[in-house]
Amino acid sequence: METIRFDYLKTFLTVARTRSFSAAAKELGTSQGTISHHIAALEEYFDAELFKRATNGVDPTDAGVMLKETAEKILQEAQDTKAKISSAKKDLSGTIKIAASTIPEEHIIPSLIAEFQKQHPNVKFKIKAEDSLTSLNSLQANNVDFAAVGTIQGFENKFDYIQVGEEDLVLIVPCNHELATQATVKLKEINNYQFINREETSGTRKEIERLLITNKFPLAELKISLELGSTESVITAVSEGRGISVISSIAAAKAQAAGLLKIVKIKEATNPRKLYMVKPKRSALKVSEAFWDFCKEFIYKNQTVRCPTK
């Protein structure tokens, strides 16, 4: 190999951070064979072994440590230069990539983008629907420009973030459920029924667990019958009478308006859950900086238009 490709350096840094070829492949959305090819090409170029096997994965060799420092500088310089070139352009255009968890992706992002594009119609967006943890990992791997998530737990010091909305956690039950006539419910009453939970990496699930822990409610007492990968699938399961669940008040309100379920407020859920737009702590393209500034002023409003009833 006569030249060094940026994507090879990105692969190298991902392996160095995750200490695993397979974990790097998963994060970068490619195969383990591709990861091995990139590292082998770099080792051929530098004529040195870059990783050595360790107890729990791989560690950089002395040569790998030297390359790591240089690779970080090269990629950062390239990103900064790209940002400067972008800033020199008069017309705001380009594509912004956002990894978004369920609630922001389905309820916040559409109106945010629509308002932004009124001012900048030549800016395009690509939205990747993922859970909160995966979205933040995608941002960390530089696979997207922003992450829109319902939790930043564990990432508070790694990124810049701003609030773009908020919601409450509410209990949802089937329309014919015995709790459907109640206005409020205490957490301890929930463990009398089959509970439908979100997957482990969901931001909603993390906030539910935080609520339970704060109120000294043992997680083990929940009678979890299902774990599902999206809010919509939870709504469907509840509407079919498969159990009860706790979800975003934004999503729940739309489902209740459609006659799919009933909302019951949780007495202990007094602190609204914040929804965030997140970005790396570095220079960005002009279009991304403009979008970030727009997000700072954005206030989410539920603009759902209900069809008239006969």
Task: Say if 187 falls within a structural domain.
Answer: yes
- For residues 191 and 214, state if they share a domain: yes
Q: Could you give the number of structural domains in the chain?
A: 3
- For residues 58 and 105, state if they share a domain: no
Instruction: Transcribe 138-206 into DSSP letters.
Output: HHHTTSSSEEEES--TT-TTTEEEEEEEEE-EEEEE-TTSTTTT-SEE-HHHHTTSEEEEE-TT-HHHH
Residue where a domain stops, chosen among 55, 87, 119: 87
The pLDDT confidence band at residue 273, using thresholds 50, 70 and 90, is confident
What is the model's pLDDT at position 166? Answer: 86
What is the model's pLDDT at position 126? Answer: 96
With beta carbons less than 8 A apart as the criterion, state whether 50 and 67 touch.
yes
Residue where a domain stops, chosen among 28, 54, 87: 87
Q: What is the mean pLDDT of residues 25-32?
A: 92
pLDDT over 60 (residue 270):
yes
What is the model's pLDDT at position 217? Answer: 86
The pLDDT tens digits of the residues spanning 41-52 come to 999 999 999 999
- For residues 156 and 284, state if they share a domain: yes
What is the model's pLDDT at position 117? Answer: 93
CATH number at residue 289: 3.40.190.10
What is the model's pLDDT at position 309? Answer: 53
In the DSSP assignment, the letter for residue 241 is T
The pLDDT tens digits of the residues spanning 176-232 come to 999 999 999 999 899 889 999 998 888 788 888 888 899 988 878 889 999 998 889
As a whole number of angstroms, the distance between CA 88 and CA 261 comes to 52
What is the model's pLDDT at position 147? Answer: 96
Q: Which domain holds residue 116?
A: 91-166+273-297
pTM for the model stands at 0.60
With beta carbons less than 8 A apart as the criterion, state whether 109 and 137 touch.
no
pLDDT over 60 (residue 310):
no
Residue where a domain stops, chosen among 32, 52, 87: 87
- For residues 14 and 80, state if they share a domain: yes
The pLDDT tens digits of the residues spanning 65-123 come to 999 999 999 998 888 887 776 665 556 889 999 999 888 898 889 989 999 998 899 99
Task: Say if 309 falls within a structural domain.
Answer: no
- For residues 64 and 205, state if they share a domain: no
- For residues 154 and 234, state if they share a domain: no
Task: Say if 183 falls within a structural domain.
Answer: yes
- For residues 135 and 282, state if they share a domain: yes
Task: Say if 302 falls within a structural domain.
Answer: no
pLDDT over 60 (residue 25):
yes
Task: Say if 40 falls within a structural domain.
Answer: yes
The pLDDT tens digits of the residues spanning 149-161 come to 988 888 888 999 9
Q: Rg of the Cα trace of the chain? A: 23
What is the model's pLDDT at position 32? Answer: 93
- For residues 190 and 214, state if they share a domain: yes
Task: Say if 127 falls within a structural domain.
Answer: yes
- For residues 154 and 195, state if they share a domain: no
Helices (H) and strands (E) in the chain, counts: 12, 13
As a whole number of angstroms, the distance between CA 175 and CA 35 comes to 51
Distance from the first to the final alpha carbon of the chain: 71
Cα torsion 21, 26, 27, 32: sign:
positive
- For residues 102 and 187, state if they share a domain: no
What is the model's pLDDT at position 303? Answer: 57
CATH number at residue 62: 1.10.10.10
pLDDT over 70 (residue 302):
no
Long-range contact pairs involving 35-40 (C-beta distance under 8 Å, separation at least 24):
35/11, 38/7, 38/8, 38/11, 38/12, 39/8, 39/11, 39/12, 39/15
As a whole number of angstroms, the distance between CA 136 and CA 152 comes to 8
Question: Which has more confidence, 305 or 279?
Answer: 279
- For residues 196 and 282, state if they share a domain: no
- For residues 139 and 192, state if they share a domain: no
CA 264 to mean position of chain CA atoms: 27
The overall average pLDDT reported for the chain is 88
The pLDDT tens digits of the residues spanning 127-157 come to 998 888 899 999 998 899 999 998 888 888 8
What is the model's pLDDT at position 16? Answer: 94
What is the model's pLDDT at position 2? Answer: 62
In the DSSP assignment, the letter for residue 244 is B
Task: Say if 307 falls within a structural domain.
Answer: no
Task: Say if 1 falls within a structural domain.
Answer: no
